Amino acid sequence: MRFERRMSDMDALMWGIEKDPLLRSTITAVAVLDQAPDRARLLDRIERGTRLVPRLRQRAISPPLGVAPPQWVPDPNFDLNYHLRFIKAPGEGSLRDLLDLAAPIAMQGFDRARPLWEFTVIEGLADGKAALIQKIHHSVTDGVGGIKIALMLLDAERDPAPDTSAMPPIEEPETISPLGLLREGLDHERRRQLGIARRAFGTAANVLRDIPTAARTTAATAASLGRLLAPAFAPLSPIMGARSLSVRFDVITAPLGETKAAANTVGGRLNDAFVAAVVGGLARYHERLGAPVDALRMTMPINIRTGDGELLAGNQFVPARFPVPMTITDPAERMTAIQALVGEARAEPGLALTEPVAGVLNRLPTSVTTQLFGGMLKGIDFVTSNVPGAPFPVFLAGGRLESNFAFGPLSGAAANITLLSYLDDLHVGVNTDPAAVTEPELFCECLQEGFEEIRKLA
């Protein structure tokens, strides 16, 4: 993986808007293991992992006056015992007990003076099982990058040969004065502006070659950008409008093969079936609470990684936001409609300007940025995210990973439903705001019915 020294503008935007705690962007994952990991092996593996993945030993520091995005520097006070913790399972050690334990862990903000991750091993679950609660800030990486980092800490077999190689060296801490931070930030911005100027010069040359086409392209991009940045202060749901700082975690499991086969019946992909199942579940939930709704506003991250060469550790996605109809009762027709909507969202020319727009927002006072970006986020009804996981069994210090559920951040939405595939199953993490989703058991029951409805098409 390639680790940049400085946050991108998109990373920095997620970092900065946390001035409003409702917009926190913490990623949490809960992995269930068939047995407790061996502590000594786990400590050795995580210690090695933090040396191989430099971001796990780095903290974020901002230059004076906010002249550039924060940069990553080695933490001279790194303490593995702070980031890796062991606790006994509460209650009867059920899955419900585990999820209720993970939720308040996810709600807690990060110590910004330390690296932005925390792992908690839960021992003593029912039937001799254990779990790992993984928590990482979204400014560090996105879902795809997070899976890559996690796989670097896992094994492909239960008892691999011990790693007898020398422990990788630690990145040397560096002391940077405020003046040095300011100078480096200004140098970064100078290089950045030169790059923008070169691209603008090239664009201007192309415009002069074909002015009519350039005018149409500019108009289309401007219109697209207007749609993407349009404020949406109120959600469309008549019953999921309240917001709080709390979360509730629930999980759903669905068969990977049958869900893919269902998508194939309409020439779609797994993501089309996934979103159609979620939409069907949300429509049911509103109907059963006596509040049918025509459409809800959805945000969906679109992965812009090319798949070529090394993987960039930071965020490589653009957020698409658009209303989704809730009135299509036929699941096949719903998948087809979702496929068309997602295709239109991916084709929005304004998405290419996400990073420059984030750069502009980052140069504004934090309170202004938070208010502007919050206006785009707090009107979101739900978020869907689809992350491909390991298609082969993996182990953590002797414990076999049985399931792995990811819970994406709400960031102002009522619900975030994240799909993470593993082996032959789809593990769906359901993160809801209790103030918005007041009937969580019914909510998950309706989502489960949505997945069953899609699966039957296979």
Per-residue pLDDT 10s for the chain (458 aa) are 677 888 888 888 888 888 888 888 899 999 999 999 999 999 999 999 899 888 899 999 988 888 888 999 999 999 999 999 999 999 999 999 999 999 999 999 999 999 999 999 999 999 999 999 999 998 887 776 777 777 778 899 999 988 888 888 888 887 788 888 888 888 877 877 776 666 555 545 554 555 666 566 667 777 766 666 676 778 999 999 999 999 999 999 999 999 999 999 999 999 999 999 999 999 999 999 999 999 999 998 876 655 555 555 666 666 788 899 999 999 999 999 999 998 888 877 776 777 777 777 777 788 888 877 777 777 899 999 998 888 999 999 999 999 999 999 998 899 999 999 999 999 999 999 999 999 999 999 999 999 999 999 98
Q: What is the CATH number of the domain that holds 246?
A: 3.30.559.30
Asked if the structure places residue 448 within a domain, the reply is yes
The count of structural domains within the chain is 3
Pick from 167, 179, 262: nearest CA to 455:
262
Q: What is the CATH number of the domain that holds 87?
A: 3.30.559.10
How far apart (Å, rounded) are the C-alpha atoms in residues 431 and 248? 6
Q: Are residues 219 and 239 in the same domain?
A: no
Q: Are residues 448 and 433 in the same domain?
A: yes
Active-site entry in 83, 138, 286, 427: 138
Q: Are residues 243 and 202 in the same domain?
A: no
Q: Are residues 131 and 186 in the same domain?
A: no
Asked if the structure places residue 164 within a domain, the reply is no
Q: Are residues 84 and 184 in the same domain?
A: no
Q: Are residues 216 and 135 in the same domain?
A: no
Q: Are residues 68 and 185 in the same domain?
A: no
Q: Do residues 326 and 283 make contact, with C-beta atoms less than 8 angstroms apart?
A: yes
Q: Are residues 218 and 235 in the same domain?
A: no
Q: Are residues 87 and 223 in the same domain?
A: no
Asked if the structure places residue 168 within a domain, the reply is no
Q: What is the token pair recorded at 179?
A: 């003046």
Asked if the structure places residue 377 within a domain, the reply is yes
How far apart (Å, rounded) are the C-alpha atoms in residues 400 and 132? 11
Q: Are residues 28 and 131 in the same domain?
A: yes
Of 228, 243, 262, which residue is a domain's last?
A: 228
pTM of the model: 0.89
Q: Are residues 335 and 446 in the same domain?
A: yes
Q: What is the token pair recorded at 194?
A: 């030169």
Q: What is the token pair recorded at 323?
A: 């209303």
Asked if the structure places residue 260 within a domain, the reply is yes
Identify the domain containing residue 292 by its residue range.
Answer: 231-386+417-455
Q: Identify whether 138 is a catalytic site residue.
A: yes
Q: Are residues 262 and 213 in the same domain?
A: no
